[in-house]
Structure 1
Amino acid sequence: MRIAVFGAGAIGGYVAAKLAAAGRADLSIVARGGHLEAVRKDGLRLIEDGEESAYAVRAAADARELGVQDYVVIALKAHSLSGALDQIVPLLGEHTSVVTMQNGVPWWYFHKLAGPLEDARVAAVDPSGAIWDRIGPERAIGAVVYPAAEVDVPGIVRHVDGTRFSLGEPSGEKSERVTQLAAEMIAAGLQAPVREDIRSEIWIKLWGNLCFNPISALTGSTLAEIVSDEATRALARTMMLEAQAIGESLGVKFPIAVDRRIKGAGEVGAHKTSMLQDLERGRPMEIDALVTAVQELGQLTGRPTPTIDVVLALVRRLAIQRGCYPG
């Protein structure tokens, strides 16, 4: 089985290191800069449970060196995907599957979703339609990423928490390709449940990201601070209820109550969201996949999003001013 991890940063590097440790797949990674140089020199190093291990992996800056793959795991942030298409396409053959490990609403969301919006495209995450056209939604396998990992220094990935990557076909079927991928990941020590309704799981994670990320970026607050403050907690709750109405109109099931979801976020503690961290470090922020796309789905389904609209306008303006909005 040939597997290429495209974007072997924190999460991609963690997946690649675990697969390399298992030694079953013909594994390669696409990386760049100092990270690529370090991997080529000293191997891909993973710090897990306080122990460091190094794995020799085939690493390339140009994906064309690697050839056609059985699976391409895309671990880039959603806003980086369009710009990487020229590099990704050479990895794709007739039977290649593409595993989408991005946060937020995926570009393939309406593929195989029965109803009047089937095969509609989400402009917020695929503005020109190039991702849909060049990768093809029929290749997509959905993935919801739960682990936390960081790149301490180039070439070294530190696992922080979690091992679960939920997988699912847009059609909901337990296909041979998704079950084979799950088996490979499980053999590598990862949890990889195959879900019949991957969209509902995408929404449960998105539910919190939609509100806590922009509120934290706007206020500089941690999750615990947002939840403990009555006003910001109420703001988050209102945004989540607007999103829930959209999701339910699309057939999504929310297995937990909104207040329980908020309580769980607060229990994470003094954690800075990824959007706040990106703002502080001057990096592009995941606004469109996490917030703009939900606003767009509201427009497509006729569900109003007045609170989401206001928060989106404010966080987008802040990101533009700081040079952190990729557009």
Structure 2
Amino acid sequence: MASGEETIVIAGAGSIGCYAGGCLALAGRSVILLARPRVEAALRQEGLRVTDLEGRDRTIKPDALVVTADPAAALPKADTILVTVKSGVTQEMAALIAAHARPDAVVVSLQNGVDNADRLRAMLPARRVLAGMVPFNVVQSPDGEMPLRVHRASDGTVMIEDGEGGLAALLGVDGFAVETHADMKAVLWGKLLMNLNNALVALSGLPLADELADRRWRLILAGQIDEALVAMKASRIEPARIAGLRPALLPKVLRLPDWLFKLLARRMLAIDPEARSSMWDDLQRGRATEIDDLQGAIQRLAEKAGTPAPLVVRIMTLVRKAEQEKRGSPGLAPGAVTAGMVV
């Protein structure tokens, strides 16, 4: 693939999509951002500011961005489509791709959860669909801040499924490192284990670094991971390493005293102080969360395997309650989350 000739469409320019598209545009790639009308209006008005944990602070002027809310205007031009929508609208985006994109366009899922690439493949059977994984957290500026800013608040390398020559070189740019991986199933299940923490950030309202630094919250995360690992083992799923650790060791590390955890888990705690989770952001904005594709994936796996997952189910119940109430994060304490349970 020759980067100067390929057009990349970001199918769902929210936080992750704007960050990926911004980095690619800054590197000279041909990028079209397919965004919701609110984001489209903000980008057309003042452009896009892209910042990160390492201190980069770059701005793209409005006239240097190609952005639209019309799938019919963006998707037919795509050589590569990066799907960055929330899991709940994967099938909707797949239908738009089927209706408007060229048959030879390569589709890459850069979404949370473990089965979005499979959902895309089911609806796009004649197309090349690749799984991908974004390991880092991106924070979007509050409504009204101009220019709209997307800030990468943790680090890591984006992984994409091997098999499409030149794609990693096309997508890998300054601030957005990309590598291929031969076993994306393991990578996605490994990431899901840590993504079980998204709900705890959402329920607590705490910044991610503060929440992870508190052993009471880590005990809840460790308990969920224990349940997930039992279900995975029963299902013969082997998740990839997380932050350099074998998954089986992760609950043990999370249960360490605060002082020892901070000493041994520096890589896990290399997070910008402002970082929270996308699920927290969804609650704040009154939107549906991805709870069904995170904790829900573990619940379904456990039910199929016949293994218990009461803590995962409890977290799901609390997040769904917060979704229904539409009051943002409920600001729960750890004891309120685990009331009546042994963690």
Q: Look up the match of 1:60.
A: 68
Q: Find the residue that maps to 1:108 and give its secondary structure.
A: helix
Output aligned runs, 1:248-327, within 5 Å. Answer: 248=233, 249-254=236-241, 255-256=245-246, 257-258=249-250, 259-260=252-253, 263=261, 264=265, 268=271, 271-322=275-326
TM-score by length of 2: 0.73
Q: Secondary structure at the match of 1:143?
A: strand
Residue matched to 2:150: 158
Are residue 8 (structure 1) and residue 1 (structure 2) matched?
Answer: no
The CA deviation at 1:82 is: 3.1
Distance 1:323 1:78, change over 3 A: farther
User: Given residue 166 of structure 1, which amino acid in structure 2 is its aligned partner?
Assistant: V
Please state how far the C-alpha of 1:246 moved relative to its aligned partner: 2.9
SS at match of 1:282: coil
Q: In 1, distance between residues paired with 2:20 and 2:254?
A: 27
Distance 1:3 1:228, change over 3 A: closer
- State the alpha-carbon separation in 2 of the partners of residues 51 and 269 from structure 1: 17
Aligned partner of 1:121 in structure 2 is none
Q: Shift in Å at residue 44 of structure 1?
A: 4.3
The structure-2 alpha-carbon separation of the partners of 1:220 and 1:69, relative to structure 1 and needing over 3 Å to count, comes to closer
* Aligned CA distance change for structure 1 residues 304 and 95 (closer, same or farther; 3 Å): farther
Amino acid at match of 2:66: R
Work out whether residues 166 and 195 of structure 1, in 8 Å CA contact, stay in contact via their aligned partners in 2.
Answer: no
The answer to whether structure 1 residue 183 and structure 2 residue 190 are counterparts is: no
Corresponding residue for 2:331? none
Structure 2 unaligned residues grouped into runs of 5+: 1-5, 256-260, 329-343
SS at match of 2:181: coil
How many residue pairs end up in the alignment? 296
Task: Select which of 125, 129, 135 maps to 1:140.
Answer: 129
The 3-state SS of whatever aligns with 2:308 is coil
Contact 1:164 1:192 in 2 (8 A): no
Q: Given the alignment, which residue of 80, 87, 96 partners 1:71?
A: 80
Cα pair 1:6 1:29 within 8 Å, conserved: yes
Counterpart AA for 1:99:
V
RMSD: 3.1
SS of equivalent residue, structure 1 residue 99:
strand
Change (3 A) 1:91 1:301: farther
TM-aligned CA distance change 1:57 to 1:163, over 3 Å: farther
Task: Give the SS at the match of 1:304.
Answer: coil
Deviating more after overlay: 36-45 vs 14-23: 36-45
- Normalized against structure 1, the TM-score is what? 0.76
Moved more, 54-63 or 44-53: 44-53
Q: 2: distance between equivalents of 1:233 and 1:56?
A: 43
Q: Counterpart of 1:235?
A: 220
| Equivalent residues of 1:10, 1:150 under 8 A apart | yes
How far apart, CA to CA, are the structure 1 residues paired with 2:101 and 2:18?
21
Displacement of 1:161 in angstroms is 3.6
Counterparts of 1:269 and 1:148, CA distance in 2:
9
Gap runs ≥5 in structure 1: 110-125
Do the aligned partners of 2:47 and 2:60 also contact (CA within 8 Å) in 1?
A: no
Q: Is the 8 A contact 2:19 2:152 kept in 1?
A: no
Change (3 A) 1:301 1:70: farther
